[in-house]
Amino acid sequence: MKTAAALSAIIALANAHATWQQLWKNGEDLESTCARLPSTNSPIEDYTSDALQCNKATAASGKCDFEAGDTVTIEMHQQTNSRDCKSEGIGGAHWGPVLAYMGKVEDAATADGSGEFFKIYENGWKKNPAASQGDADFWGTKDLNYNCGKLDFKIPSDIAPGDYLLRAEAIALHAAGPAGGAQHYVTCYQVTVTGSGTLVPKDTIKFPEGYSKTGPGLGFSIHSNLDSYPMPGPELIASGTSVEPQLLTFGTISGSPAAGNGTPKPASSAASKPASSAVPAPASSAAAVASSSAVVEAASSAAVVPTPAPSATPAPTPSAAPIVSSGLNTTSTALPSTLATSVRPQPSAGPSNGDIKEWAQCGGNGFQGAGACASGLECKVQNPYYSQCIKSAGGTPAPATPEPSKVAPEANKPTKVAPGASKPTKVAPAPGGNAPAEKTYTLETFIAFLEENAGSASAAKMRRMIEALL
């Protein structure tokens, strides 16, 4: 059962794939009328494939009309036709940048995406002061995840009128390293732009040849303490939109439209700033509503003020952290996460007192629960921040487990089993008497291997084997 739970966590990490599906214009939902919908939600990993152009998707039924300077919102979800804002947009700890390109074409309905593209939008990386490694920092895909799969930006006001392919791209770096391993989620929208602009950008890129697996921002590991991140692709054009990511948990970004049936709604890009400006955009006062199970990873100067969901008695969470009180609200600041802890199966909140069920949390720094593991279970220390009720060694009921705050350092020693009616099983010594004990492999050692070998052929093969089990 423990193996199944661990495997489920790894599969969840590998299987959280998604596609770009809808488009918005100035807050009006255009749905999928001009979106080239991919046939699969799996990522593109082959840097020789023309799937990097528009994901080999069939042409859309129509084009979406925009005026230069309009606000456009791209929308991504894990399942086709699912616009559930309670689910993560891309999921699976797929952290990395979100980019948008435009390519001028004769006819957006027939263009194949093999032409030149220029970059009009980038939402990349920002340092989280409370984090010790990059996967706990702010990322464009975290904004995408926690803002109902939506990000918005401007159609550049100075570009020449005509037909364009608007290419949206999310890049996941969770399995990447210096040798490669980045995953690309791409689609193209067919748009017609009107206006009086004349700009035809010269700093362009063609796909797939413009990317390489070891290129800037692609052959890159996020599992270390970062002080910078190089954006993939060409420079953003001067009239493009550059955004610093804002969210670490479920919330809203000011100006992003809510999912609906096409009812026009005002939209703005309060969080955005022109690429040519060195002055940060003003912070928004809009409050983000946190989900009842989310933990705010760190307080930030971003435009989001997390608000705890209503609850008569807050249930403890596996990564509960010290409570920081402000004058306006109360938020929790989580200790820096690591890949090893972030993929561990998260048990549902257990009872606040009495017996603690199997797989539920029973201790760790910041744990606020009470009670002891149920009969037959022991409180096993997984790391300093998380202990879990699991079956006792040998299947024999363990003694009552003390409260988490009183667990002695000796908790990791083998549990002494009181003699029962049956005699204990005698284990014959290994031949030679001094044979080394067989190495124990755990979820943590497996994840550590994947981190150490990120981008290698063996790590990629293991990930594909896991995905094949779905």
pLDDT in tens, 231-270: 999 999 999 999 999 999 988 776 565 544 444 333 333 3
- Of 197-206, 269-278, 404-413, 454-463, which gets the smallest average pLDDT? 269-278
More confident residue, 176 or 271: 176
**Angle in degrees, 0-180, between the axes of helices 457-468 and 443-452, rounded to the nearest 10:** 130
More confident residue, 95 or 276: 95
Q: Please report the pLDDT score of residue 457 as a whole number.
A: 59
Q: How confident is the model at residue 107 (pLDDT cuts 50, 70, 90)?
A: very high
3-state secondary structure of 52: helix
Domain ranges of the chain: 16-280, 345-413
Average pLDDT across the chain, whole number:
72
What is the torsional sign of CA 437, 442, 448, 454?
positive
* pTM (2 d.p.): 0.58
Q: Please report the pLDDT score of residue 470 as a whole number.
A: 53
Q: Please report the pLDDT score of residue 391 as a whole number.
A: 78
- Of 43-47, 108-112, 421-425, which gets the smallest average pLDDT? 421-425
**Please, is 189 exposed, middle or buried when counting C-beta atoms within 10 Å of its C-beta (0-12, 13-18, 19+)?**
buried
- Of 183-197, 205-219, 249-263, which gets the smallest average pLDDT? 249-263
Give percent above pLDDT 90 in the chain.
46
The rounded Cα 304 to chain-centroid distance in angstroms is: 18
Q: How confident is the model at residue 444 (pLDDT cuts 50, 70, 90)?
A: low
Q: Please report the pLDDT score of residue 467 as a whole number.
A: 56
Q: Please report the pLDDT score of residue 363 as a whole number.
A: 81
More confident residue, 182 or 464: 182
Q: Please report the pLDDT score of residue 99 as a whole number.
A: 98
The rounded Cα 244 to chain-centroid distance in angstroms is: 16
More confident residue, 329 or 81: 81
339-354 average pLDDT score = 37
Tokens of 72: 């456009």
CATH of domain 16-280: 2.70.50.70
Give percent above pLDDT 70 in the chain.
57
Name residue 185's beta-bridge partners.
Answer: 170
C-alpha span between 384 and 337 (Å, rounded): 12
pLDDT at 75 over 70: yes
How far lies 267's CA from each of 78, 86, 127, 166, 373, in Å? Answer: 24, 21, 27, 19, 51
pLDDT at 302 over 80: no
- Supply angle C-alpha 73, 77, 80, rounded to 5: 115
DSSP state of 36: -
Q: Please report the pLDDT score of residue 373 as a whole number.
A: 86
Spatial CA neighbour of 258 closest among 73, 88, 82, 100: 73
3-state secondary structure of 125: strand
Question: What's the one-letter identity of residue 363?
Answer: G
53-72 average pLDDT score = 97
The pLDDT tens digits of the residues spanning 124-170 come to: 999 999 999 999 999 999 999 999 999 999 999 999 999 999 999 99
**Please, is 380 exposed, middle or buried when counting C-beta atoms within 10 Å of its C-beta (0-12, 13-18, 19+)?**
buried
Torsional class of 268: left (φ above 0), alpha (ψ -120 to 50), beta (otherwise): beta
Q: Is the peptide bond before 208 cis (omega within 30 degrees of 0)?
A: yes
Q: Please report the pLDDT score of residue 434 as a whole number.
A: 52
* DSSP element (H, E) containing 75: strand 71-77
* DSSP element (H, E) containing 28: strand 28-29
Q: How confident is the model at residue 390 (pLDDT cuts 50, 70, 90)?
A: confident
Q: Please report the pLDDT score of residue 355 as a whole number.
A: 81
DSSP state of 409: G
pLDDT at 405 over 70: no
